[in-house]
Structure 1
Amino acid sequence: MYEDNYRQRGLRQKLVKKLAEKGIKDEAVLAAINRVPRHVFFENALLDHAYQDKAFPIGEGQTISQPYTVAFQTEKLDIKPGDKVLEIGTGSGYQACVLLELKAKVYTIEYNRKLYDTVREMLPSLGYKPYFFYGDGSKGLPQKAPFNKIIVTAGAPVVPTALTEQLAEDGILVIPVGDREKQVMLRIQKKNGKLIKEEYANFAFVPLLGEQGWKEK
């Protein structure tokens, strides 16, 4: 069992306050972030970084996302309890934990085998139990579609058609789209079979790899 002491809880509360100051308004999202022990995703020597509002490397060329980015994407998803959510890019597993705290039913897919194996073992030990899948997230998860919400935690060159096809009516897809260095956050909602797009500020994600993402170098 992990330790979550007074100091760590205090740092988490400070982080949540900072996210609110930066414009995150959804109280449920802020409360979810306040419940997830982000420090357990860091090695002991790096614990001072756990509650700073910044991304941090987790190996395999991947990062644990900046808390503000996690909160921003989650807020745009407008999660309701029981929503069936597809997460593209499990990564550290932190984002999946936030979604689970919002009482979503989470399906998460990871392209990197080592990360997949690590997180599949780690999250249940923390009490978080999404449905884990290993494979090409750019293709979505057609065998489990449709989804109420889809979140992509890596930068894509275009919006993969597979993902919009797997979105339920009134469903929402949140995805960063652009080049390898910088992306624009898109919120796409399916209404009467049509896709309504909203565009938000620039972000920087690791690249989405796969058939409908970036090709490996």
Structure 2
Amino acid sequence: MPDARFDPFGGDSTMPRDSLSQTGRRILPRVIATGFTAAFLGDERTLREFVAGDLVARRSRTLGEVPVLTLINDSYDPLTERQLRVGVDKDPELIRQFTPFCGRPIAEIPDPYGCHGSYSDHFIEALVERLKRLDIHPVVLDTYQAYHRGSYAHYVSATLANYRRIQELLSESCHDYSATCSTCSARNASASMGLRSSRSSPGRWRIAAHAAASTRGRTRARCAAS
């Protein structure tokens, strides 16, 4: 994995917190955020966002600002069968081996080529290497690691504590929250069955979720939990 990482919510950081201009005036970095779900490498069409972000960063630098281009890897996203086919270049044997992993976060799935620690690590490194050839050098943020470090804990806790109120404020067009099934780890067909605060970890919440079959028939039942 690339070494350039930082925690946007505190802790060790490679991103400059602030800098001093030539006049001694303290300036804050301007963060330009881009994102990708590293489930496959893709083609030139996946580069548009990063090229645009890099252009903004370069322009910002000419204006005397301190730009930081970030690449947020949505590694908690579940792998889909379409992504798998693209990721393994339609290799029938790899598709057969890895189809059972579909629905699980890509950070928890083995590298199909056996050269990295996870499925996500393999493709994010390939993407970063491709960007380097274009002289684009983003700071990589890994959402799976951020969640497990507790970087989002405060925000998740506040969201769940005010769940009903938020539902009232959000429009019906917003995407639903998807929980991870506690039995089979699937996310793409799970339904929240209950919510309670964790006694052992104040400020943390536990969600009882079950991965049921999709009503559209696109996802098989992932586990036998009821």
Q: TM (normalized to structure 1)? A: 0.23
> In proportion to residue count, which structure has more strand?
1
Q: TM (normalized to structure 2)? A: 0.22
**Higher RCO (C-alpha 8 Å, min separation 6):** 2
